[in-house]
């Protein structure tokens, strides 16, 4: 009887073991496409693991800005975070190369580069103690300004809102002859209203959802740079997941990434339509504009190469771009 009682206690104890709890931070607003995707993923993981893995999402910046979330992951108070391209570069600086202005000029070209570079960049992030579970593409950044611009010289009259805490990129813009004002996204509306800035570059989805376009209602239809982010977990959080659930969870993440990409593309089209109905004016660039914008951007490249990202990575990306253009007959 004693042996049976001990066995029953052991079984009950095993069943009552606390579930693995993973806390994930995100700056994406609640009920946004990203927040919805995360919550669906959390539910999916709980289902896959029969409740033994539970994910808690802290959306809307509750867990702090991206730097705060990275610090908390390193301290162990967060198990993961959804990061934009700016946040990802805080883990691996070479990711900055993907945000280089006018480096790639089409969705197809960027996709080709991204797929080739993903293993290299992912390895760098993993060497820092993180696992990339999901890469997200949040569209492209465009210039939004108070009045019409078409050429690089036009932009020099404006005060451009710029992500704070990026000294290399700031110096690159200044070397190109532009006025940049470090500013967090959460302070964008106040900066626009006060006249501290009168231009910015964001994706149409963010420009629309934040209503920033109302104070900078002219958009140049020239792709500046793709926006890439991702869902990362700490190694400790990933290893806390029982091994038999990891592969199904990865497959769940891949499906979520594809769904999110398609959703984001559709929502961006809707955002542009809504903004146009509410005063946004989209200016198509003249035929010679791209060449001039690329020439202007090249003036700041020496501030980025070997500072914001390594020359080796930059040369590798240039080689892949050349490969794509040769295959495309360009």
Taking the C-alpha atoms of residue 178 and residue 191, their distance in angstroms, rounded to an integer, is 17
pLDDT tens, residue by residue, 93-104: 899 898 888 888
User: Does position 129 have pLDDT exceeding 80, yes or no?
Assistant: yes
Q: What is the pLDDT of residue 205?
A: 85
The pLDDT confidence band at residue 266, using thresholds 50, 70 and 90, is confident
Where are the chain's structural domains? 16-327
pLDDT in tens, 275-300: 999 999 999 999 999 999 999 988 88
Does domain 16-327 correspond to CATH entry 3.40.190.170?
yes
Q: What is the mean pLDDT of the chain?
A: 88
180's CB contacts (< 8 A; 6+ apart) are 159, 160, 161, 162, 170, 173, 174
Q: Is 245's pLDDT higher than 50?
A: yes
What pLDDT does residue 304 have? 80
- What gap in Å lies between CA 295 and CA 289, rounded to an integer? 10
pLDDT at 147: 97
Answer yes or no: is pLDDT of 4 > 60.
no
Query: Residue 116: CB partners within 8 Å, gap ≥ 6?
Result: 320
Overall average pLDDT of the 240-255 stretch: 93
Share of the chain above pLDDT 90, in %: 58
81/25 Cα distance (integer angstroms): 5
List the single range of 156-160, 182-186, 252-256 with lowest mean pLDDT: 182-186
Above 80 in pLDDT, residue 269? yes
Could you report the per-residue pLDDT of 19-73, keeping only the tens digit for each? 899 999 998 777 777 788 889 999 999 999 999 999 999 988 899 888 999 999 9
Q: Taking 70 as the threshold, does the pLDDT of residue 328 lie above it?
A: yes
Nearest Cα neighbor of 290 from 136, 105, 142 is 105
pLDDT of residue 264 exceeding 60, the answer is yes
Is 80 exceeded by the pLDDT of residue 12? no
CA 148/CA 136 separation, integer angstroms: 31
pLDDT above 80: residue 111:
yes
3-state DSSP assignment of residue 325: helix
Query: What is the structure's pLDDT at 169?
Result: 81
Q: What is the mean pLDDT of residues 211-226?
A: 95
């Amino acid at each position: 009887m004693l042996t049976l009682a001990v066995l029953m206690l052991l079984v009950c104890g095993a069943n009552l073991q606390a579930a693995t709890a993973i806390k994930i931070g995100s700056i994406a607003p609640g009920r946004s496409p990203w927040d919805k995707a995360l919550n669906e993923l959390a539910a999916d993981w709980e289902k896959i693991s029969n409740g033994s893995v539970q994910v808690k999402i802290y959306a809307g910046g509750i867990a702090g800005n991206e730097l705060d979330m990275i610090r908390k992951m390193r301290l162990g108070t967060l198990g993961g975070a959804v990061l934009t391209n700016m946040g990802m570069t805080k883990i691996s600086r070479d990711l900055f190369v993907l945000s280089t202005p006018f480096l790639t000029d089409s969705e197809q070209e960027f996709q080709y580069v991204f797929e080739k570079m993903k293993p290299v960049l992912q390895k760098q992030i993993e060497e820092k103690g993180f696992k990339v579970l999901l890469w997200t593409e949040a569209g492209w950044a465009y210039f939004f300004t108070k009045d019409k611009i078409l050429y690089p010289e036009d932009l020099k009259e404006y005060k451009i809102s710029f992500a704070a805490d990026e000294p290399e990129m700031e110096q690159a813009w200044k070397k190109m002859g532009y006025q940049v004002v470090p500013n967090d996204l959460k302070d964008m509306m106040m900066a626009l209203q006060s006249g501290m800035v009168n231009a910015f570059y964001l994706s149409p989805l963010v420009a629309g959802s934040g209503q920033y376009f109302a104070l900078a209602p002219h958009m140049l239809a020239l792709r500046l740079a793709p926006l890439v982010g991702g869902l990362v977990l700490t190694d400790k959080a990933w290893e806390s997941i029982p091994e038999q659930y990891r592969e199904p969870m990865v497959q769940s993440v891949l499906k979520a990434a594809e769904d999110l990409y398609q959703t984001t593309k559709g929502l961006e089209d809707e955002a542009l339509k809504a903004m146009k109905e509410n005063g946004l004016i989209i200016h198509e660039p003249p035929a010679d504009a791209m060449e001039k914008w690329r020439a202007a951007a090249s003036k700041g490249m020496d501030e980025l190469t070997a500072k914001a990202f390594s020359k080796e990575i930059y040369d590798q990306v240039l080689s892949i771009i050349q490969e794509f253009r040769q295959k495309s007959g360009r």
